[in-house]
Amino acid sequence: MGYDFDRRIDRQGTGSTKWKVKRFLAPQAGPEIVPFTMADMEFANAPEITEGLKEYLSEAILGYTGATEDYYEAVQGWMQRRHGFLPKREWFLECSGVIPAIEEMLAAFTKPGEGVLIFTPVYNPFRVCAAHADCFLAESELIKRGDTYEIDWADFQEKAADPRVTLCILCSPHNPVGRVWRQEELQRVAEICLEQGVFLIVDEIHHDLIMPGYSFVSAGTLEEKYLENCAVCTAPTKTFNLAALKVSNNFIPNRERMEAVQKRRGYYSLNALGYQACRLAYSKGEQWLLELLAYLDKNRRLVEDFLKAEMPQITVSRLEGTYLQWLDFRQLGLAPKELSKVLVEKAQWILDWGTNFGKGGEGFGRLNIACPRSVLEEALERLQKSGVCR
Least confident range from 1-10, 75-84, 224-233, 336-345: namely 336-345
**Which of these, 34, 40, 42, lies nearest to 348 by C-alpha position?**
34
- 259-283: average pLDDT: 92
pLDDT band at 113 (very low <50, low <70, confident <90, very high): very high
Residue 119 has a pLDDT of: 99
Measured from the Cβ of residue 54, the count of other Cβ atoms closer than 10 Å reads: 9
- Give the β-pairing of 92-95 and 352-353: unpaired
Residue 20 has a pLDDT of: 82
Whether the domain at 17-44+287-386 and the domain at 51-284 fall into the same CATH topology: no
Instruction: Evaluate whether 93 touches 102 at the Cβ level (below 8 Å).
Output: no
pLDDT, greater one: 193 or 36: 193
Residue 1 has a pLDDT of: 64
Q: SS3 for 117?
A: strand
Residue 291 has a pLDDT of: 98
Q: How far apart are CA 348 and CA 25, in angstroms?
A: 10
- 265-288: average pLDDT: 93
Q: pLDDT, tens digit, for every residue of 364-380? A: 999 999 999 999 999 99
Q: What is the CATH number of domain 17-44+287-386?
A: 3.90.1150.10
- The DSSP line for 177-191 is T-----HHHHHHHHH
Q: What is the DSSP letter of 20?
A: H
Q: How far apart are CA 315 and CA 325, in angstroms?
A: 10
Q: Assess whether pLDDT exceeds 80 at residue 267.
A: no
Q: pLDDT, tens digit, for every residue of 114-133? A: 999 999 999 999 999 999 99
For residue 298, CA distances in Å to 5, 173, 221, 360 come to 12, 19, 30, 28
**Domains of the chain: which residue ranges?**
17-44+287-386, 51-284
Residue 338 has a pLDDT of: 85
The letter for the amino acid at 246 is K
Average model confidence (pLDDT) across the chain: 95
Q: Assess whether pLDDT exceeds 90 at residue 142.
A: yes
For residue 14, CA distances in Å to 88, 238, 274 come to 38, 19, 19
Q: Assess whether pLDDT exceeds 70 at residue 272.
A: yes
The percent of residues in the chain predicted with pLDDT above 90, rounded, is 84
Q: pLDDT, tens digit, for every residue of 3-13? A: 999 999 999 88
Least confident range from 30-39, 101-110, 189-198, 375-384: namely 30-39
pLDDT, greater one: 347 or 205: 205
Q: pLDDT, tens digit, for every residue of 148-180? A: 999 999 999 999 999 999 999 999 999 999 999
Top CATH class, 51-284: alpha beta
Give 227-288 as a 3 state SS string: HCCEEEEECCHHHHCCHHHCCEEEECCCHHHHHHHHHHHCCCCCCHHHHHHHHHHHHHCHHH
Q: How far apart are CA 235 and CA 232, in angstroms?
A: 10
Q: Assess whether pLDDT exceeds 80 at residue 266.
A: no
Q: pLDDT, tens digit, for every residue of 309-318? A: 999 999 999 9
- 33-61: average pLDDT: 95
Could you give the count of Cα atoms lying within 13 Å of 79 in the half-sphere of its Cβ? 29
Q: How far apart are CA 180 and CA 319, in angstroms?
A: 9
Q: SS3 for 96?
A: coil
